[in-house]
Amino acid sequence: MAKRAINDKCYVYINGKILGYVKDGRAYANEIRTARRGGVLSGEVNVSYVKKLNAVHINTDSGRIRKPYIIVEGGKSKLTPELIEKLQKKEVDFNYLLRHGVLEYLDAEEEENALVVFKEADATPDTTHLEVDTTSIFGFTLNTSPFPEHNNAARHAMLSNFIKQSQGLYATNFNLRFDSRAYLLFYPQAPIVSTAVYDAARMQQHPSGQNFVVALTTYYGYNMADAIVINKGAVDRGLGRSMFYKTYTDEERRYPGGQKDVFRVPPPTAEGYLGEHAYSKLSEDGIIEPETTVEEGDVLIGKVAPPRFLEESISASGLEEKIRDDSSTLKAGERGVVDSVVFTESTGATKVVKVRIKSLRIPEKGDKFASRQGQKGVAAYIVPQEDMPFNDHGIVPDLLLNPHSVPNRLTFGHLLEEIAGKAGALSGKKIDGTAFAEKGSSRIEEYGKTLEENGFDKFGDETLYDGITGRRFKAKIFNGIVYYNRLYHMVSNKLQVRSRGPVQILTHQPTEGKARQGGLRFGEMERDVLVGYGASLLLKERLLDQSDKATVLICKECGNIGYYDYIKRTVVCPIDGGTAMSEVEISYAFKLLLDEIKSMHIFPGLKLKE
Amino acid sequence: MADKKDRFIVTTGEPVGVIAAQSIGEPGTQMVLRSFHYAGVASSIATSGLPRLVEIVDTRKKPATPFSYVYLKGKAAKNFEDAEKVVKKISEVRVNDIARRILENFSKGTILIKLDDQRMEANELTAKGVASKIEKLTKIECSASENAILVKTHTKNTKQIRSMAVQIGKLTVNGIENAGRAVIKQDKETGEFYIVTNNSNLVGILGIEDVDSSKIYTNDIFEIYRVFGVEAARNAIARELDTVLREQGINVDKRHLFILADAMTLSGGIKNVGRRGLSGEKESIFARAAYEETVKHLINAAAFGERDDMRGVTENVLIGKQIMLGTGSVTLAIKKEDLAKISEKKGKK
């Protein structure tokens, strides 16, 4: 039986709602398209014929993602050489082309009906559209990366993320801004190897990276598995140096009942007073002064608030109203200098203070760097310049990348950028790395030629000497210039240590998370490991002694938990009033469990053995 | 030699169960990530990988894809024609397999089975033979024509006729019931023929003369348990686990699998690894409550005034006592006071 369409009638849907049916859906769809191109219908109307369902879908609603294409008819682009000339003379513009049926926007559904070619030369009589530019098959972020057509698609996903995470000159008015977090690179450079989209977006005016001299070589064991080695000399000269800004904000809130917060140095009588030392850096108005060096625990904004509960203020004997300290302190592990302080007003007409802290971030071990090719790495060693390898010219690389990073990841773009960057630096010209740019494979020869003209090897290989022994490396080392981004993942913001610290109120177990100075959870699977080793005392130490050990009194008669009566100076069992008790060490979590079981009307008695 | 052997004996207090669980569990996590499917003959697809592993430890009554290997003895193992004869005896043929259509006639109270000539021929069956078989199994009168069978139901109840027609379609007219379709295969090394079926009925197959009863195998663990007993079932569990893991390129020491299989069959039956089996039948209330259905266990324990002796691992970790395993398995044999007495006595002497 021949395959037949599900419906003999071709239904027409407008924005998903059924409108009626037509005999020939394809012809109907084409009719609508002609009308749109002729200006009879709005250019925002998209139509598609779905062959599988024999239906026509017309979409006019908002929220569709659309993309412009050049219309092709009979294998010929509607964007004729004459029009291109007019465009260059600025006699016509993009909107003119849209109105005159040269360009049109397609949405995802209509794209299914289109046959699109990259180049006009590839067009056949069946072709319906031509890409405006070949780079438009990639997104914006990817198009700022050079040579994306030479990389693995999996790397594209990564590099698009890295580019967004890089520190740079994010805004030229950074000094006036109070972003809650901001990263500012000290000496941002425009990349030597740039792309058309990068230039068109004027990214070179606020770049987010620097051109690094990169040698593809190992450095003892220091750059294994995505670790990178950086030249300390370069770091001292400002490579990757950046400033981290963080803004602390506080507000004089109003409460029902006419009470409000007050910015001031809290008096020692305030509830939760942190001690005289913590407020020592505040000025008279209770706010810290600019250019003050601050450490963790220092108060930045002194503030007092009314008590949380109404009774507290009433029950307070004496004339003085009870107040609570609600100051903002610098978080644990942070340090820096107060950069700027601003007083403003909120929409609710309350006083607002913003304090911006700056802290210098010199590249250190543990900071993350990435090229625009999805090659990320963590600095593992900042080598003194005299210990770094150098070449005949005395050039010392800024960064040593392990050659194992390249082959299985197929980031040929990285290698290409190295040579291109080197050629660009030697010739003093910017190199175009736009995706699918003209000449393609002959690029490498072009760069090689430039290198040779300047007395370098055409493949980018150079003789390097070990900085420590002074010996010449047996192999020639591939090196060049790659644009690297310093990503905002820096150890100094993530470092966390705990030996003793706060515990949770409910369970008496250590807190979790960096903000609460927490520990790392010794979980169920970790517990199983100690059980597997039979390390019974180590297990007890981890789970009891270093966690929620509690000493409780257990009644020898009924097995209930008792307490010490300080007035009578004796131990008491609350059930039978007995005084025969023994002290037992249990986990507080177990005491909690017993309490919860009791709340279910079950009495859990403990029978003790000597 | 004896010394060397002794060195490999597990130390007293070694938590072998935990080690076994970790040894099976860790590679198990990798299995989920790389589950691959074979493209090939549709009939040879057996459940494998994680779904099969779950099937085994959950002790499903019937595997999703049961199969059995039937080895032959004597002439049948060497000769293809003889092996084929055994296949004819085993391979299950149902009415549905040979019928072109099954038609009910509600007004006359009859069911007409139209037979497919090709399939009848392939199975070497005659309409008469099939009819007598149906008669024998259902005790209902049947008459056979050349390529059709008429079943006279003696009832005009539509519902009854309908259900009868469905049941008749499922009747086994040739071969062994529930044995499944049988296929001959040849062992590449010995050149002997053996039979693979896509279901399993050990009792039925073992009744056939040319079958080597010492080598028969099925992946249906409960079938093995019913026919050969727990010991065999225990070995089957271990072997099936081993096969599944090996297929995935995971190498787990057999002793770990034996521990698991032993734990599952310790009671004489087959227990699963879950809240209705091993974990749900733990002695300690706290250990059970810590696993699943916490409140149920606590309330039951309260209702019956149960007592927890705190002898297991979980409950001791919970209250914060040293566990009685590994270094914690040792206790004092002599009390301090008694020790003093002993030394006193020694002093007197």
In CATH, what number does A10-134 get? 3.90.1070.20
Q: How many A-B residue pairs are in contact by the CB < 8 A criterion? A: 74
The answer to whether residue B236 is domain-embedded is yes
From B157, B190, B218, the end of a domain falls on B218
CA distance B104 to B164: 10
**Domain around B242:** 14-63+221-265
Residue pLDDT, tens place only, B180-210: 888 888 888 888 888 888 888 888 888 888 8
Residue written as token pair 């059924």:
A18
Distance between CA A372 and CA A485 in Å, rounded? 7
Q: Considering only CB atoms, which chain A residues are within 8 Å of B24?
A: none
**CATH class name, domain A247-359:** mainly beta
In this structure, the answer to whether residues B108 and B144 fall within a common structural domain is yes
Contact A528 B319 (CB under 8 A): no
The nearest alpha carbon in chain A to B313 belongs to A531
The verdict on a CB contact (< 8 Å) between A535 and B327 is yes
Task: Return the minimum-mean-pLDDT range out of A58-67, A198-207, B200-209.
Answer: B200-209
CB neighbours of residue A129 within 10 Å = 23
pLDDT digits (tens, 9 = 90+) for A367-379: 999 999 999 999 9
Q: Which residues of B touch A (CB under 8 A)?
A: 13-15, 18-19, 21-22, 295, 298-299, 301-302, 307, 313, 317-329
Q: Is A165 exposed, middle or buried (0-12, 13-18, 19+ CB in 10 A)?
A: middle
3-state DSSP assignment of residue A350: coil
Query: Are residues B125 and B137 part of one domain?
Result: yes
Mean pLDDT check: name the lowest of A214-223, A541-550, B39-48: B39-48
Query: Which residue from A minimizes the CA distance to B25?
Result: A525
* Per-residue model confidence (pLDDT) at position A425: 95
CB within 8 Å: A537 and B322: yes
Q: Which pLDDT tens digit goes with each residue over A74-113?
A: 888 999 999 999 999 999 999 999 888 899 999 999 999 9
Convert the pLDDT of each residue in A112-139 to its tens digit: 999 999 888 888 999 999 998 888 889 8
This model of the complex carries an ipTM of 0.77
CATH architecture for residues A148-241+365-486: Beta Barrel (2.40)
B83 plus B192 within the same structural domain:
yes
Q: Does A537 touch chain B (CB under 8 A)?
A: yes
Task: Encode pLDDT of A229-264 as tens digits.
Answer: 999 999 999 999 999 999 999 999 888 878 889 999
In-domain check, residue B324:
no
Instruction: Please report, for chain A, the start and end positions of each structural domain, with discontinuous segments joined by +.
Output: 10-134, 148-241+365-486, 247-359, 496-610
Query: Annotated catalytic residue: which of A133, A199, A226, A466?
Result: A226
Nearest to B326 among A535, A549, A585 (CB): A535
Which is higher by pLDDT, B99 or A295?
A295
- The DSSP annotation for A519-562 comes to B----HHHHHHHHHHT-HHHHHIIIIIIIIEEEEEEETTT--EE
> Å from A599 to nearest chain B CA?
12
Q: Residue A166 has what DSSP assignment?
A: B
In this prediction, residue A314 carries a pLDDT of 52
- CA-to-CA distance for B96 and B99, rounded, in angstroms? 5
Cross-chain Cβ contact B21/A585 below 8 Å: no
Q: A496-610 maps to which CATH number? A: 3.90.1800.10
Q: What is the CATH number of the domain that holds B111?
A: 3.30.1360.140
Q: Give the nearest partner residue to B318 out of A532, A590, A602, using CB atoms.
A: A590
Give the per-residue pLDDT at B54: 85
CB contact under 8 A, A531 and B18: yes
- Say yes or no to pLDDT of A423 above 90: yes
- Is A545 catalytic? The answer is no
Number of structural domains in chain B: 3
Q: Any chain B CB within 8 A of the CB of A179?
A: no
Strand, helix or coil for residue A213:
strand
B84 with B185, same domain: the answer is yes
B235 shares a domain with B189: no
For residues A191 and A173, the answer to whether their CB atoms sit within 8 Å is no
Which residue in B15, B298, B323 is closest to A597 by CB distance?
Answer: B298
Q: Please state whether B268 falls in left (phi above 0), alpha (psi between -120 and 50) or beta.
A: left
Residue B257 domain-assigned (yes or no): yes
How close are the terminal C-alpha atoms of chain A, in Å?
Answer: 87
Is residue A154 less than 8 Å (CB to CB) from chain B?
no
CA distances to A394, A550, B148 from A580, in Å: 85, 19, 92
Calculate how close chain A gets to B25, using CA atoms only, in Å: 11
B14 interaction partners in chain A (CB closer than 8 Å): 534
Q: Within 10 A of A323 (CB to CB), how many other CB atoms are there?
A: 23
In-domain check, residue B191 = yes
| Residues B110 and B158 placed together within one structural domain of the fold | yes
Nearest Cβ partner for B327 among A528, A536, A585? A536
Residue B89 · residue B176 · CB < 8 Å: yes
Comparing CB atoms, the residue among B21, B318, B328 nearest residue A536 is B328
Please answer whether residues B233 and B224 qualify as being in contact, where contact means their C-beta atoms are separated by less than 8 angstroms: yes
A586 close contact with B: CB closer than 8 A:
yes
Question: A399-401 and A210-216: which strand pairing?
Answer: parallel
Domain assignment present for residue B97? The answer is yes
Pair B74, B204 in one domain: yes
Å between B322 CA and nearest CA of chain A: 6
Residues B82 and B196 in one domain: yes
pTM: 0.76
Domain presence at residue B18: yes
Residue B80 lies in a domain: yes
In this structure, the answer to whether residues B80 and B145 fall within a common structural domain is no
From chain B, the residues in CB contact with A534 under 8 A are 13-15, 325-329
């090996």: which residue's tokens?
A: B246
pLDDT for res B129: 80
